[in-house]
C-alpha cells in the first residue's frame, strides 16, 4: 500500500461513473457482491445521496482526502462528481488522474455530462449502454432543438467507431 500511495500518478485508478447516484450505487453494490477484497474502493458524493448500506465506503466530505485517494483502485461517483474539487490538484495535493473511466448507462447521459467525466484525460474510456433504449434526458425544448439530447454514446454509435457488443 505504501508503494501504491507513493506512485499514485503511475498506478491505475478507475472512475466508475453513472448519471445519477442510484445508478452509481448499483455499480458499487455489484462489485461488492463479487467478494473481491483485494480492490480498494471509495464512493464519492454527498452522503445524503448515497445508499445507507454504502455509507461506509464514502470519502469524508471535508479535509484532506488525498490519503484515501492514493490507496484507491476504484472511485465510484456520478459523471459530474468526477470533476469534484476534492480530486483537483492544489498546494496540498497532486490531484487525482484517472487512468480509466467507466461510464455506465452512457446512452442516457447528455454529451456534456459524459465529457465532464472524461476531462481528466484518462488513458481509456469505456461507455456502456444501449442507444436503442432510453435516450439522454433533456428537459429544455430549445436544448433538444439544438441537438443536446444526443448522447456521446449515440453519436459514437452512429459514426465509424466499432462497438463491442456483449451477450
> 129-151, pLDDT tens digit by residue?
887 787 788 889 998 899 888 88
Q: Is 60 exceeded by the pLDDT of residue 54?
A: yes
Using CB atoms within 10 A of its CB, is residue 97 exposed (0-12), middle (13-18) or buried (19+)?
A: middle
Query: Is residue 5 very low, low, confident or very high in pLDDT (cuts 50, 70, 90)?
Result: very low
Per the structure block, which three cell numbers stand in for 83? 470533476
Per the structure block, which three cell numbers stand in for 17? 461513473
Q: Is 80 exceeded by the pLDDT of residue 125?
A: yes
The average pLDDT across 154-163 equals 84
> In this predicted model, which residue has the larger pLDDT, 75 or 12?
75
Q: How far apart are CA 89 and CA 105, in angstroms?
A: 29
Mean pLDDT, the chain, integer: 83
Of the listed ranges 54-58, 66-70, 145-149, the least confidently predicted one is 66-70
Q: Is 50 exceeded by the pLDDT of residue 3?
A: no
pLDDT for the residue 63: 66
pLDDT for the residue 102: 94
The average pLDDT across 114-130 equals 86
Q: How far apart are CA 151 and CA 127, in angstroms?
A: 11
Q: How far apart are CA 71 and CA 167, in angstroms?
A: 34
Tell me which DSSP letter residue 99 carries.
S
Q: Is 60 exceeded by the pLDDT of residue 9?
A: no
pLDDT for the residue 90: 57
> In this predicted model, which residue has the larger pLDDT, 68 or 41?
41
pLDDT for the residue 96: 72
Amino acid at each position: 500500500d505504501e508503494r501504491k500511495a507513493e506512485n499514485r500518478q503511475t498506478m491505475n485508478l478507475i472512475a466508475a461513473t453513472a448519471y445519477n447516484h442510484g445508478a452509481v450505487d448499483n455499480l458499487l453494490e455489484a462489485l461488492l457482491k463479487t467478494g473481491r477484497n483485494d480492490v480498494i474502493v471509495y464512493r464519492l458524493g454527498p452522503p445524503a445521496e448515497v445508499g445507507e448500506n454504502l455509507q461506509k465506503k464514502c470519502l469524508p466530505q471535508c479535509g484532506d482526502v488525498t490519503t484515501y485517494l492514493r490507496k484507491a483502485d476504484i472511485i465510484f461517483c456520478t459523471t459530474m462528481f468526477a470533476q469534484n474539487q476534492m480530486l483537483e490538484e492544489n498546494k496540498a495535493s497532486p490531484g487525482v488522474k484517472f487512468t480509466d473511466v467507466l461510464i455506465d448507462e452512457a446512452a442516457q447521459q447528455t454529451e456534456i455530462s459524459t465529457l465532464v467525466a472524461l476531462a481528466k484525460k484518462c488513458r481509456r474510456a469505456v461507455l456502456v449502454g444501449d442507444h436503442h433504449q432510453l435516450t439522454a434526458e433533456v428537459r429544455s425544448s430549445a436544448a433538444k432543438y439544438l441537438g443536446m439530447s444526443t448522447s456521446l454514446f449515440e453519436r459514437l454509435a452512429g459514426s465509424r467507431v466499432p462497438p463491442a457488443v456483449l451477450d
